[in-house]
Amino acid sequence: MRFIPLRLRIRNHPNVNMNIITKETEELVKNVWKNVDAVCFDVDSTVITEEGIDCLAEFCKKGNEVAEWTKRAMGGGIPYEIALAERLKIIKPARQQIETFLQCKPATLTQGIQELIEYLNKKKIHVYLVSGGFKSLIAPIALKLNIPSERIYANRLKFYYDGEFAGYDTEQPTSRSGGKAIVADNLKKQGYKNIVFIGDGVTDLETTNHAHAFIGFGGNVVREAVKNQSGWFVTDFNVLKRFHEKENA
């Protein structure tokens, strides 16, 4: 295969700056939220306060190199599959490292998320976790929040028999730019009438016009592109819970 410099691969990539996102109105978003039947949450910097892959990298002593890639991936302008592959090339986590990491550094839930998901569960509104991160890091979070594991859409790490890192499953839609939009389209086909996607990053924003509505979340970190293009942008999960309660009283 001919070697193409990374800079050119990024510039020529079909997904970069090609998705024109039409901003939804706040009224439309609020109306979908009022009648929501499935909520998809991004995980990193949304459900939890940190970026799981950065924390894992730090634990594996590769923190600085990887954080730089994460920042670029979340701000847009770089295809997610490249950012993911490059970061994993740096970390190369072994199975044992993942297990030790999960025991030593459990993720921190964002304030108000537990109450919001408890409320949604009680209302029988289906909750999904849709992440460009790894299922092995997200499973304990889902367990804590009473979300069934079949409602996690995330990437899968692969290991050799001896536990050494062997890559990741590139077939998962969440491993690519535009992948979360594909998940939203697939959920729509399952018959949900009001799917709301909530997240902090550009890959979440891509679900606008695929889910029935997108809500930008800035409680942990505010990304300007997301803030500017979200019909409804919130920094506190309590706002969402209170609004839904009031509208459905």
24 binds Mg ion (CB under 5 A): no
Q: Name the residue nearer to Mg ion (CB basis): 52 or 93.
A: 52
Nearest Cα residue to 121 out of 136, 138, 142, 106 = 142
Which candidate in 37, 44, 54, 185 is catalytic?
A: 44
CA gyration radius, the chain: 18
- In this structure, the strands spanning 152-155 and 126-134 are parallel
Q: Name the residue nearer to Mg ion (CB basis): 58 or 200.
A: 200
Rounded to a whole number of angstroms, the minimum distance from the CB of residue 78 to Mg ion is 15
Token readout for 191 is: 């018959």
42 binds Mg ion (CB under 5 A): yes
The region of 38-46, 82-90, 110-118, 237-245 touching Mg ion under the rule CB under 5 A is: 38-46
Q: Name the residue nearer to Mg ion (CB basis): 94 or 127.
A: 127
Identify the three-state secondary structure at position 110: coil
175 binds Mg ion (CB under 5 A): no
Is residue 44 among the annotated active site residues?
Answer: yes
Rounded to a whole number of angstroms, the minimum distance from the CB of residue 203 to Mg ion is 8
Q: Name the residue nearer to Mg ion (CB basis): 94 or 154.
A: 154
Residue 14 DSSP one-character state: T
54 binds Mg ion (CB under 5 A): no
Q: Considering CB under 5 A, how many residues would be counted as binding Mg ion?
A: 6
Among 24, 44, 81, 206, binds Mg ion (CB under 5 A): 44
- What residues does 40 pair with on adjacent strands? 128, 197
Rounded to a whole number of angstroms, the minimum distance from the CB of residue 200 to Mg ion is 5
Q: Name the residue nearer to Mg ion (CB basis): 96 or 108.
A: 108
45 binds Mg ion (CB under 5 A): yes
Nearest Cα residue to 46 out of 110, 107, 106 = 110
String of contacts with Mg ion for each residue 102-141, x by CB under 5 A: ----------------------------------------
Token readout for 42 is: 């991004």
The region of 3-11, 44-52, 172-180, 214-222 touching Mg ion under the rule CB under 5 A is: 44-52
In sequence order, the 6+-apart residues with CB closer than 8 A to the CB of 6 are 82, 86
Is residue 236 among the annotated active site residues?
Answer: no
User: Contacts for 80-86 with beta carbons within 8 Å, 24 or more apart?
Assistant: 80/132, 80/175, 80/176, 80/177, 80/179, 80/203, 81/170, 81/175, 81/176, 81/177, 82/6, 82/9, 82/10, 82/13, 84/132, 84/155, 84/168, 84/175, 86/6
Q: Name the residue nearer to Mg ion (CB basis): 51 or 94.
A: 51
Return d(Cα 178, Cα 115) in angstroms, integer.
30
| Residue numbers 185-214 binding Mg ion by CB under 5 A | 200-201
Return d(Cα 49, Cα 63) in angstroms, integer.
17
Active site members:
42, 44
Residues lying near Mg ion in the complex (CB under 5 A) are found at: 42, 44-46, 200-201
